[in-house]
Structure 1
Amino acid sequence: MTAFLRQADLTLSGLDDPHVRLWIERDEASDIVGTTGYELSADGGHALIRSVAVGPSQRSRGRGSALARFALDRAVDEGAQRAWLFSRRSGPFWQSLGFEPADRDALAVALAGTHQVRLFRRTGQLAREVAWSRALGDERTASRRRGVPRTG
């Protein structure tokens, strides 16, 4: 999975931490074709969506949206009321899922204990990041209708 996320140019920090929730989608040959995940804030009310990626063969087919919705649903199941993420390149994708531009410092406060925020603060990368956020409610996202990733 590390190589898959590195190829997608996504943050690798904390992937081995038991508090980071990650799912891998594999094809019939057991090759990784997608990933998704999140970390929760210390109080459980905020989720940092991370590691959402699809392989080239799955792009523009709705898999990225399905994987993101799967992570959002799982975060709601754990009690998260707001989702946050960093993305400098994929704003339109995240806007299609209800995310809006957010204050990166507010994200850093809400999710101060997460690996990604700690790394970005330590390296100075936080100042270059673009934050996104959306409320999470009782409504379920479309992943229930579209299926869930096959894990493995």
Structure 2
Amino acid sequence: MHLWVSRDETTGRIFATTGYESSEDGSHVLIRSVAVDPELRGTGIGLELAQFALERAVEAGAKQAWLFSRRSGPFWQKVGFTSADKRDLAVALASTHQVQLFARTGQLGREVAWSRQL
């Protein structure tokens, strides 16, 4: 798991985070949210963080990025993601914590998957 936080340089307060999990072979990554303080949404910080995470994934050798999102599809489309089959995501990233948790709890059936090539 890779995780990044953005902090206010003066106060040290975290105002945004992002991260990803990798498949066992490293060719796929599962983006684990881009979270931005509600007061800062719409400023481009989320798009910058998403791009940052994707660039780090490419540097690590990933070829495909995936994510789950039921509500943020328009945001992820701005970053180049398109609707994907959640079963394909679950196969590509079967070893990740989030996929295992969603499969075990039944949440996988309620999720919406997105993907893009890197």
User: What TM-score, normalized by structure 1, do the two folds share?
Assistant: 0.76
Question: Aligned runs of 1:71-86 on 2, under 5 Å?
Answer: 71-86=53-68
Among 24, 27, 30, the alignment partner of 2:5 is: 24
CA RMSD in angstroms comes to 0.6
Letter in 1 for 2:52: F
Among 54, 58, 67, the alignment partner of 2:36 is: 54
Please state how far the C-alpha of 1:57 moved relative to its aligned partner.
2.1
Q: Which residue of 1 aligns with 2:15?
A: 33
Q: Which residue of 2 aligns with 1:96?
A: 78
Moved over 6 A (4+): none
Letter in 1 for 2:38: P
Q: Which residue of 2 aligns with 1:69?
A: 51
Gapped regions of structure 1 (runs ≥ 5): 1-19, 137-152
Whole-angstrom CA distance in 1 between matches of 2:66 and 2:86: 9
Whole-angstrom CA distance in 2 between matches of 1:69 and 1:38: 12
Please state how far the C-alpha of 1:106 moved relative to its aligned partner.
0.2
Report the number of matched residues: 117
% of aligned pairs identical? 66
